[in-house]
Structure 1
Amino acid sequence: MRGRLAPEDVGLRSVGRRRTPGLRRQEVAELAAVSIDWYIRLEQGRAGAPGSAVLDALAEALRLSPVEREYLHLTARGEAPPRPLLDQRGGVTTSLRAILDGMPMLPAYVVDHSFDILAHNAAATAMFGDGFGHGTASNVALLLFLDPDARRGQLNWEQIARETVGALRANAAKYPDDPRMQAVIARLRAGHRDFAAWWGDHTVGERCSGVKRVAHPAAGVLTVSYDMFSAPEASEQRLMVLTPVDAESEVRLRGLVTAHSRRVAREAGDESGVGEAEKVEKAAVLAG
């Protein structure tokens, strides 16, 4: 890593002839505010386990990428460093938005570290209602615990709820000073006794995949798999996708999404939108 940098790249003036390209050990030590003797021992693997702050200083001095910084911590300490929390206010990327819209028959949405819903597709609105992504329903955890209709609709509510508590606690440990995370947790602890009790048992987990049964007021009972994927270029954004488990659930979900698309098109006075919904339904039938 020293060899790929010139002194000018890090704001230093090049002095004297250099036998090899890149930064000298002395220069890296100065940039990271550590002693040259200690830095030499570190390169040679004789410095013991360095502190996380020192490794971050070295990562900054060597202009390491986020992936290289994590590799440095894993190599030197055997554990990954805390991840910097990215600003989520810009929403999702254009490519991620295209992925959402490119799955017209599968409910999908993107959440951040505190389970705020950053984006969702029309199929998610069809499944969870027009209010999805707004008010209490703008956060998956708040919706799950504080909305009575959402609780009634989740036929295996306790399983999903416990998974959510474990995932929130894991994320809270990563970002203990994040005000949004603290606000969500405080509201849940004050607003739901089950959450408060489960939060107190310090269960930690990762909500990645599973199967759940949802009682929809119009479509009936749907059995769906849920899979959560890390979004590209945003380490704390997750894409959640729901897929039908059986043929009956697939037919019901398809009818639900198509009916929603037609209603939206009619309310907008867009007859071409109605035709487009029918095309999507026919394509889904052919694909099935």
Structure 2
Amino acid sequence: MDAREQDGEDSAGESLSELLRAWRRRPLLRGRVPAAQQRRAQGLSQQEVARLSGVSERWYRSLELGKPANFSADFLDGLASALQLSPVERHVLYLKAAGRPPAEPEGDTEGVMDEQLQHFLDSQAPNPAYASDIAWNIVGTNAPLADWFPWAPHRANLMRWSLLRPEARHQLVDWRNDWARPYLGQIRYVRARHPQNAGLRELERDLLAGSREVRELWALGEVHDHSDGVVRRLRLPFHGGNEVSVSVVAMVPMRFRALRVVVLMQMPRGHVVRNGEREG
């Protein structure tokens, strides 16, 4: 029986104690302590980590020993800084010490695009594809998306067009049930995750001020997380006003977690959709 099994940690993987000891013993941390005070070949002592974190040695030791406590975000962030943890390591620290992930950064809603992500969008042709930021501002499109939705490449906002523009109610088939209600539910979900985000606050305010029907649907209190996998219908000028069905593929790039990437996979002609679900 190894130490982790004795400590009852085997079922949960590595213990926080093991990770903290490994992190503070890394040679790269030697530079955090003046050369005159360096007495070991590598890493930091518990006392040094505590000092760099702004807490007592006793407080830090209790964490490394695995003793339960109400560790604050300020303490965990200070510890992550002292140990020079990467963003992923900081995430694990929170999960192990507090049982929750760290709060997501609030910042603005300006999206990030690069050449590789744009190439991905372009490679989805002939299917339309776009990338949007946290507040649904469209930050990248491919050529088919611009053909289908000529307004989209001009850094438009998906939700403002879909929920407030009169033509959207005709072009998005079954606008109320298949588009407006799920979209508003997604906005509510993301607003709950980013309550201080200025772009999301402004989006919610504009939508509720701009339409009585949107206000009525918002009052239903529905919550949706995403549209990945759903089938929806469109009636666009690009298709001569004929109805087409699309399967929505939505994803989040690992490098740009504040972005959404959406591909509209056109379904075969004659495809039947009822209540937003595909029938084979």
TM-score, normalization: structure 1?
0.78
Q: What's the offset of the Cα at 1:103?
A: 1.9
8 Å contact 1:107–1:123 — kept in the other structure? yes
CA distance in 2, matches of 1:87, 1:75: 29
Q: What's the offset of the Cα at 1:164?
A: 1.5
Question: In structure 2, which of residues 154, 163, 173 is the aligned counterpart of residue 134 of structure 1?
Answer: 154
CA distance in 2, matches of 1:148, 1:241: 24
The CA deviation string for residues 89-142 of structure 1, in whole angstroms up to 9 with x for no partner, is 4640110011111222010000111111011111101112x222337xx11110
CA distance in 2, matches of 1:95, 1:85: 25
Deviates more, 1:15-24 or 1:54-63: 15-24
1:104 aligns with 2:125: yes
1:204 aligns with 2:204: no
Quote the residue 1:169 is aligned against: 188
1:114 aligns with 2:135: yes
Q: What's the offset of the Cα at 1:7?
A: 4.6
Quote the residue 2:245 is aligned against: 223
1:195/1:29 CA distance change after superposition, 3 Å: farther
The CA deviation string for residues 214-238 of structure 1, in whole angstroms up to 9 with x for no partner, is 1123421111100111123111101
CA distance in 1, matches of 2:53, 2:38: 23
8 Å contact 1:32–1:61 — kept in the other structure? yes
CA distance in 1, matches of 2:151, 2:125: 19
1:9/1:164 CA distance change after superposition, 3 Å: farther
Equivalent runs, 1:87-98 vs 2, <5 Å: 89=110, 91-98=112-119
CA distance in 2, matches of 1:86, 1:95: 24
Q: CA RMSD in A?
A: 2.2
CA distance in 1, matches of 2:110, 2:159: 19
CA distance in 1, matches of 2:77, 2:38: 30
CA distance in 2, matches of 1:71, 1:147: 43
The CA deviation string for residues 30-64 of structure 1, in whole angstroms up to 9 with x for no partner, is 12111110110101110423122221221121111
Deviates more, 1:182-191 or 1:1-10: 1-10
Equivalent runs, 1:29-44 vs 2, <5 Å: 29-44=50-65
CA distance in 1, matches of 2:73, 2:222: 26
CA distance in 1, matches of 2:65, 2:216: 49
1:81 aligns with 2:102: yes
1:18/1:156 CA distance change after superposition, 3 Å: farther
1:120/1:86 CA distance change after superposition, 3 Å: farther
Q: What's the offset of the Cα at 1:76?
A: 1.4
1:7/1:229 CA distance change after superposition, 3 Å: closer
CA distance in 2, matches of 1:86, 1:241: 26
CA distance in 1, matches of 2:122, 2:109: 20
Tell me the amino acid that sits aligned with residue 167 of structure 2.
Answer: D
Quote the residue 2:259 is aligned against: 237
Tell me the amino acid that sits aligned with residue 163 of structure 1.
Answer: P
Give the number of the structure whose residues are more often helix, by fraction.
1
Query: What percentage of aligned pairs have identical amino acids?
Result: 31
CA distance in 2, matches of 1:160, 1:81: 32
CA distance in 2, matches of 1:88, 1:145: 19
1:40/1:187 CA distance change after superposition, 3 Å: same
Deviates more, 1:68-77 or 1:106-115: 68-77
8 Å contact 1:133–1:139 — kept in the other structure? no
CA distance in 2, matches of 1:119, 1:212: 22
Point out where structure 2 has 5 or more consecutive residues left out of the alignment.
Answer: 1-22, 272-280
8 Å contact 2:111–2:132 — kept in the other structure? no
Point out where structure 1 has 5 or more consecutive residues left out of the alignment.
Answer: 250-288
1:52/1:198 CA distance change after superposition, 3 Å: farther
* Residue correspondences, number: 245
Tell me the amino acid that sits aligned with residue 191 of structure 1.
Answer: G
1:145 aligns with 2:163: yes
Aligned to 1:204, the other structure's residue is in SS state coil
CA distance in 2, matches of 1:207, 1:126: 24
Tell me the amino acid that sits aligned with residue 146 of structure 1.
Answer: L
8 Å contact 1:85–1:236 — kept in the other structure? no
Quote the residue 1:3 is aligned against: 25
1:224/1:177 CA distance change after superposition, 3 Å: same
